[in-house]
Amino acid sequence: MGIYDRDYYRDEDDIGVRRASRGMSVVFMLIMANVAVFLVDMFLTPTMHQVTHVLAMHSETIFHPVFWFELLTYGFAHDPSNFYHIFGNMLVLFFFGPPIERLYGKKEFFIFYLAAVLIGGLVWGIQTGVQSHSLVQAGEEPLHSEMLGASGAVTAIVILFACNFPKAQVLLFGLLPMPAWALGVMYVLMDTFGSFSGGSNIAHSVHIAGAAFAALYFFTGLRFSRFKLFKRRPHLKLHEPPQTETHSAYTWNTPKNPPVPDDQIEAEVDRILRKIRSAGEASLTQTERETLMYASREYQRRQKGGS
């Protein structure tokens, strides 16, 4: 086993997976946010549903920057006259969201979800904006429609799940078992046919946008948390504690010869990694650092050599 196979030396993505299990789940928070909006609208504006109307996206939104907040808020509003609208979306998010959150980490999952909402809103806004402009040019009334719901982002979650776990068995309607890849294909086909058939109040274009975004995200290996904009900035400190020794006191040059006998390298690396975990990297001696670098180089060399 090489040094980079061990739990202490996983890359940032793997660390994010482990940390995703700590604290409150992002999936839970998203579900609570959607349910809270639904309940607030139901109890505070039960007749006119002003809360839903304000958060929903409208066909003319794309032409008015002051209302561009609707590109995100529509994803947290649902049809107040149809309980199954929010129930269906949140149920799918409840089942498919947690594995994706554990796989990518809390921050990455949250950004992905919001990006899916935003992209779906942009696609619908441009589509309805063009249609409305065409009607006005033809001397007719512009469109006056609303779009709301998390189904575009939820579709993106389902497709991303199918890409990552294609052979996982899922139950369609809780009864019919099928592999996840088949469910993903079914999602795309249903929305594709629905977009061409028309006569429905379902925003199929938003679903397709979510599916396309998820596929692009998966196959390109995109990670939002790698961008500088989303990286955590270090906190400023007013006083730096005095340091008895600097990092320059150590070197990470890989030695040509093993610092310890070859037959003891594996046991020594395990001991050093346990020391890092308990006392931190600063506690290592020069010889221990050289041992880690030598073991790492030898492992990489064996990997490249096909051993």
Q: Is the pLDDT of residue 186 over 80?
A: yes
The CATH class for the domain spanning 11-230 reads: mainly alpha
Residue 117 contacts by C-beta under 8 Å, 6 or more apart in sequence? 71, 72, 74, 75, 150, 152, 153
Residue 180 in contact with residue 168, Cβ under 8 Å?
A: yes
In this structure, are strands 169-172 and 57-58 parallel, antiparallel, or unpaired? unpaired
Q: Is the pLDDT of residue 21 over 50?
A: no
Q: How many CB atoms lie within 10 A of CB 40?
A: 12
Q: In this predicted structure, what is the pLDDT of residue 1? A: 40
Residue 209 contacts by C-beta under 8 Å, 6 or more apart in sequence? 119, 120, 122, 123, 124, 152
> What six digits make up the tokens of 91?
């149920």
Confidence grade of residue 152 (pLDDT, cut at 50, 70, 90): very high
Across the range 8-37, mean pLDDT stands at: 68
d(CA 252, CA 292): 9
Classify burial at 54, counting beta carbons within 10 Å of its beta carbon; exposed 0-12, middle 13-18, buried 19 or more.
middle
Q: In this predicted structure, what is the pLDDT of residue 110? A: 96
Measured in degrees and rounded to the nearest 5, phi and psi for residue 303 equal -65, -45
Residue 91 in contact with residue 28, Cβ under 8 Å?
A: no
Q: SS3 of 171, please?
A: strand
Residue 112 in contact with residue 155, Cβ under 8 Å?
A: no
Q: In this predicted structure, what is the pLDDT of residue 299? A: 74
DSSP string, 84-109: HHHHHHHHHHHHHHHHHHHHH-HHHH
**How is the chain split into domains, by residue range?**
11-230, 247-304
**CB burial string 56-85: b at 16+ within 10 A, e below:** bbbbbbbeeeebeebbebbbbbbbbeeeeb
Confidence grade of residue 14 (pLDDT, cut at 50, 70, 90): very low
Residue 147 in contact with residue 60, Cβ under 8 Å?
A: no
For residue 203, how far is the Cα from the chain centroid?
22
E-strand stretches of the chain: 57-58, 146-147, 169-172, 176-179
Q: In this predicted structure, what is the pLDDT of residue 237? A: 53
Q: In this predicted structure, what is the pLDDT of residue 96? A: 94
d(CA 266, CA 271): 9
Q: In this predicted structure, what is the pLDDT of residue 257? A: 74
The predicted model scores a pTM of: 0.67
Across the range 143-166, mean pLDDT stands at: 92
Q: Is the pLDDT of residue 12 over 60?
A: no
pLDDT tens for each residue of 191-248 = 888 776 665 667 888 999 999 999 999 999 888 888 766 666 555 555 555 554 444 4
d(CA 135, CA 232): 47
Confidence grade of residue 140 (pLDDT, cut at 50, 70, 90): confident
Confidence grade of residue 5 (pLDDT, cut at 50, 70, 90): very low
Across the range 299-305, mean pLDDT stands at: 70
Query: How far is residue 53 from each of residues 25, 28, 71, measured CA to CA in Å?
Result: 29, 25, 13
Q: Find where tokens 């579709």 sit.
A: 155
Q: Is the pLDDT of residue 298 over 80?
A: no
Confidence grade of residue 76 (pLDDT, cut at 50, 70, 90): very high
| C-alpha closest to that of 217 among 164, 275, 285, 279 | 164
Q: Is the pLDDT of residue 292 over 60?
A: yes
Measured in degrees and rounded to the nearest 5, phi and psi for residue 81 equal -95, 0
d(CA 28, CA 30): 5
Rounded percentage of the chain residues whose pLDDT exceeds 70: 79
